Amino acid sequence: MMSFAARRIVVVKLGGSVLTSSAAYRPAAQFLAKRIHGSPEEQIVAVVSAQEGLTDTQERVARDIQREPNAATLDLLGWVGPRVQGSLDIDGHID
C-alpha cells in the first residue's frame, strides 16, 4: 500500500446538478466509495455543496427577512460561492 504522503490528491465536488433530491445522496456516496476503493493511489477529497435549489431557497428566505441582506449574510448562506466557482460533476466534467 502507498504511504499517505505519496498519494495523489483528487478533489471531487458534488453539487446541485448531482444532488437533485434526497434519493441522489446514496448513488453519490456509492460513487465516492467505489472511487476511493478502486484508486488506492489517490487521496480523495469530497466537497459536497447544497442540494439543487437549496441555496436559492435560502436566498429567498433571507430576502423575505431583509430586502437587501449584506454580503456577509449571503456568504454564510452559501449563496455567493456556488455561483462564482465552477463545479465538478460526478462524471468529472467541469460545468
Higher pLDDT residue, 80 or 69?
Answer: 69
The domain tally of the chain equals 1
Q: Which domain holds residue 44?
A: 4-84
* Res. 1 pLDDT band, cuts 50 70 90: low
23 within domain boundaries: yes
Please give the model's pTM, rounded to 2 decimal places.
0.56
Q: Cβ(36)–Cβ(44) under 8 Å? A: yes
Residue with cell 427577512: 65
- The residue among 77, 74, 91 whose CA lies nearest residue 15 is 91
95 within domain boundaries: no
90 within domain boundaries: no
Residue 50: the pLDDT is 78
66 within domain boundaries: yes
79 within domain boundaries: yes
78 within domain boundaries: yes
Residue 65: the pLDDT is 84
92 within domain boundaries: no
- Residue 15 to residue 19: CA distance in whole angstroms: 6
3-state secondary structure (DSSP) of residue 47? strand
The three cell numbers of residue 3 are 504511504
Query: Chain-wide mean pLDDT for the chain?
Result: 75
25 within domain boundaries: yes
Higher pLDDT residue, 11 or 56?
Answer: 11
